[in-house]
Amino acid sequence: MAAGECSRFWPLNQTHKSLFKIMGKPLICYLIEGLISSGVKDLVIVQSPTGDIAAALKNYSYPKAKINYVSQKNPRGTGDAILTAENLIKDNFLVLNPERVDCQNYLNKIIIKSKKIKDSALLLAGPTKTPHLFGILKLKDDKVVSLIEKPKPGKELSNLKIVGIYLFPKKFFPYLKKIPTHPYSLEEAIFLFANKEDVRIVKSNEETFSLKFPWDLFEIRDFLMAQRLKSKIAKSAKISKAIVEGKVQIGENVRILENAVIKGPCYIGDNCVIGNHALVREHSDLEEGVLIGAHAEVARSIFQDKVSCHSGFFGDSIFGKNCWLGAGIATANKRFDKKEIKTIVKGEKIGTGLTALGAIVGEDTKIGVNTSLMPGVLIGAGCQVSPHSLITKNIKDNQVFYEQSLHGR
């Protein structure tokens, strides 16, 4: 399912969230690889009419898989997306959210159980501390008897959420067609199917990650680094009297200049440059062509392709591709009281669940020298932020921001 507008993923939603890169590849690539390794090789990708997923995947080869693409004309929810693929479905079929890069951990259990209870639907379910963000299940043993989408506090049926891996029989389609199209039509169809037929769960004992908000990328990054990161330095990389410690993967044609320090786990993509006396540490992910200037410190942050920064501190932050960051920028990543960091998403103030979170910045944004970014601020794509600014609130896409006290505007 890779066709939604990803509105809660702003300011990183210029493309579908499944195309966000971690360790050199879009997230959807890890999902495809997980499916293939689990023996699932006939794939249908539901994308937007722009064809962005198909275009991106041209750069990757999957000879063991047959991949078809269908387009969802309008982002009208997962139920409608499934219906766009109906003509390509011949038998029982899996439905996966694009962030399920961990699918190989669960698919074997789902497939084995499906053979024991034929014609039933199966859902992967797991515990959650934030039931108001998910579809929540009520069970009798392993059988679904009810579900509610994003329950209000005190209205939760349980602490078990729908994780985002489903297995449906072909006969699920008539039930889905009975439900008017809306964002939660899939959940209503599952409830209808549970009343008339049979819906069971496969339970994860651990809380699984999701990808609703941009800061959810940190947990996915940590998972992928734990599973995939290699201690490897490309032969074409040039390291000049620098310190490299821990598990660090360094790509082709990387240049690490004198007295720089890299403390793993870290990923440094092809054609990156790390300047003199720079420090890159602890789960930092630098994608292709990133430039880290002299004396900069990057901690637990994700930089997409061709981000350029000079000196400064970048902690627990995410920058979209082609961002330009002037000298002396500081991302404040903790509150004075060490409490949870909250931010504004779609006009609503929400908790991030994090006590360490810097800035999240959309692609093609330029930020001037000596700017300070407060914890949890979101800055849109295509913005320009003037030097010496103090950013305490979100900035929408394509805005020019001037610090009034300094510029008299």
Q: What's the half-sphere exposure (Cβ side, CA atoms, 13 Å) at 275?
A: 15
Number of structural domains in the chain:
2
CATH number at residue 383: 2.160.10.10
Q: Which letter does DSSP use for residue 180 in this model?
A: P
The mean pLDDT value for 120-131 works out to: 91
| Phi–psi pair at 28, nearest 5 degrees | -65, -25
Helices (H) and strands (E) in the chain, counts: 8, 37
What is the percent of the chain with per-residue pLDDT over 70, rounded to a whole number?
A: 99
Is residue 343 within a helix (H) or strand (E), and if so which, with residue range? strand 342-345
Given a cut of 50, is residue 93 above it in pLDDT? yes
Q: How far apart are CA 319 and CA 16, in angstroms?
A: 16
**Cβ within 8 Å of residue 26, ≥6 positions away:** 18, 19, 20, 56, 57
The mean pLDDT value for 21-50 works out to: 96
Parallel, antiparallel or unpaired: strands 255-256 and 273-274: parallel
- Flag whether 229 is in a domain: yes
Q: Are residues 61 and 171 in the same domain?
A: yes
What does pTM read for this prediction? 0.94
Q: Are residues 242 and 282 in the same domain?
A: yes
Q: Which letter does DSSP use for residue 288 in this model?
A: T
Q: Are residues 254 and 325 in the same domain?
A: yes
Cα separation values, 100 from 70, 353, 363, Å = 20, 20, 24
pLDDT tens per residue across span 221-273: 999 999 999 999 999 999 999 999 999 999 999 999 999 999 999 999 999 99
Q: How far apart are CA 42 and CA 232, in angstroms?
A: 33
Q: How far apart are CA 400 and CA 175, in angstroms?
A: 49
pLDDT (0 to 100) of residue 406: 47
Q: Are residues 119 and 87 in the same domain?
A: yes
**Cβ within 8 Å of residue 64, ≥6 positions away:** 36, 41
pLDDT-based confidence at 30, cuts 50/70/90? very high
Q: Are residues 52 and 83 in the same domain?
A: yes
pLDDT tens per residue across span 141-180: 999 988 888 888 888 888 899 999 999 999 999 999 999 9
pLDDT (0 to 100) of residue 408: 44
Domain enclosing residue 100, as ranges: 7-124+164-198
Given a cut of 60, is residue 407 above it in pLDDT? no
Is residue 218 within a helix (H) or strand (E), and if so which, with residue range? helix 217-228
If DSSP codes are grouped into helix, strand and coil, which group holds residue 282?
coil
- Flag whether 147 is in a domain: no
- Flag whether 137 is in a domain: no
CATH number at residue 182: 3.90.550.10
Q: Are residues 182 and 316 in the same domain?
A: no
pLDDT tens per residue across span 66-80: 999 999 998 888 999
